[in-house]
Amino acid sequence: LSHVNLASHLHDVLALLAKKKTYLYQEGIDKHNKENALSQAQKLEKWALIPTTFTVAGGELGPTLKLKGGPTADKYRTIINSMYAESP
Protein backbone atom coordinates (compact mmCIF):
# COMPACT_ATOMS: atom_id res chain seq x y z
CA LEU A 1 0.00 0.00 0.00
CA SER A 2 1.16 3.48 -0.79
CA HIS A 3 1.13 6.21 1.85
CA VAL A 4 -1.86 7.84 0.13
CA ASN A 5 -3.83 4.59 0.06
CA LEU A 6 -2.92 3.85 3.67
CA ALA A 7 -3.98 7.33 4.79
CA SER A 8 -7.26 6.99 2.89
CA HIS A 9 -7.87 3.55 4.41
CA LEU A 10 -7.06 4.83 7.91
CA HIS A 11 -9.47 7.75 7.41
CA ASP A 12 -12.22 5.30 6.39
CA VAL A 13 -11.57 3.08 9.42
CA LEU A 14 -11.62 6.05 11.80
CA ALA A 15 -14.88 7.31 10.27
CA LEU A 16 -16.43 3.87 10.71
CA LEU A 17 -15.31 3.73 14.35
CA ALA A 18 -16.76 7.19 14.99
CA LYS A 19 -20.11 6.09 13.53
CA LYS A 20 -20.05 2.94 15.68
CA LYS A 21 -19.27 4.97 18.81
CA THR A 22 -22.12 7.37 18.05
CA TYR A 23 -24.45 4.41 17.46
CA LEU A 24 -23.49 2.85 20.81
CA TYR A 25 -24.11 6.12 22.67
CA GLN A 26 -27.50 6.46 20.96
CA GLU A 27 -28.38 2.88 21.95
CA GLY A 28 -27.65 3.71 25.59
CA ILE A 29 -29.69 6.92 25.43
CA ASP A 30 -32.60 5.09 23.81
CA LYS A 31 -32.46 2.42 26.53
CA HIS A 32 -32.44 5.08 29.26
CA ASN A 33 -35.36 6.92 27.67
CA LYS A 34 -37.38 3.70 27.41
CA GLU A 35 -36.62 2.28 30.86
CA ASN A 36 -36.09 5.31 33.11
CA ALA A 37 -37.76 8.40 31.69
CA LEU A 38 -41.14 8.71 33.38
CA SER A 39 -42.18 11.71 31.30
CA GLN A 40 -41.27 13.42 28.03
CA ALA A 41 -39.39 16.07 30.05
CA GLN A 42 -37.01 13.40 31.40
CA LYS A 43 -36.05 12.08 27.97
CA LEU A 44 -32.71 12.97 26.46
CA GLU A 45 -33.42 14.01 22.89
CA LYS A 46 -30.44 16.01 21.66
CA TRP A 47 -26.82 15.34 22.47
CA ALA A 48 -23.33 15.80 21.06
CA LEU A 49 -19.91 14.45 21.87
CA ILE A 50 -17.49 17.17 22.91
CA PRO A 51 -14.00 16.40 21.56
CA THR A 52 -12.21 17.08 24.83
CA THR A 53 -12.13 16.16 28.50
CA PHE A 54 -13.62 18.69 30.89
CA THR A 55 -11.00 20.02 33.31
CA VAL A 56 -10.47 22.75 35.87
CA ALA A 57 -7.72 24.21 33.69
CA GLY A 58 -10.03 24.20 30.67
CA GLY A 59 -12.61 26.21 32.62
CA GLU A 60 -15.41 23.64 32.43
CA LEU A 61 -15.02 22.43 36.04
CA GLY A 62 -14.69 24.29 39.31
CA PRO A 63 -12.16 23.43 42.04
CA THR A 64 -14.54 20.81 43.51
CA LEU A 65 -14.92 19.26 40.02
CA LYS A 66 -18.50 20.46 39.60
CA LEU A 67 -19.54 21.50 36.11
CA LYS A 68 -19.53 25.26 35.51
CA GLY A 69 -22.65 25.40 33.35
CA GLY A 70 -22.49 29.00 32.15
CA PRO A 71 -18.83 29.09 31.12
CA THR A 72 -19.09 25.62 29.58
CA ALA A 73 -22.19 26.56 27.60
CA ASP A 74 -20.43 29.71 26.40
CA LYS A 75 -17.32 27.77 25.38
CA TYR A 76 -19.31 25.21 23.36
CA ARG A 77 -22.05 27.57 22.11
CA THR A 78 -21.40 26.67 18.46
CA ILE A 79 -21.95 22.95 19.11
CA ILE A 80 -25.05 23.63 21.22
CA ASN A 81 -26.55 25.93 18.61
CA SER A 82 -25.90 23.40 15.84
CA MET A 83 -27.90 20.78 17.77
CA TYR A 84 -30.98 23.00 17.68
CA ALA A 85 -30.46 24.21 14.12
CA GLU A 86 -30.82 20.65 12.78
CA SER A 87 -34.25 19.31 11.97
CA PRO A 88 -35.42 16.54 14.34
Render pLDDT for 63-72 as a digit per residue (tens, 0 to 9): 999 999 999 9
**What pLDDT sits at residue 6?**
82
**What pLDDT sits at residue 11?**
86
For the beta carbon of residue 25, count every other beta carbon within 10 angstroms.
13
What is the reported pTM?
0.65
Q: pLDDT tens-digit profile of 46-58? A: 999 888 999 999 9
The segments of the chain whose pLDDT lies below 50 read none
Hey, which residues does 67 pair with through a beta bridge? 61
**What pLDDT sits at residue 5?**
82
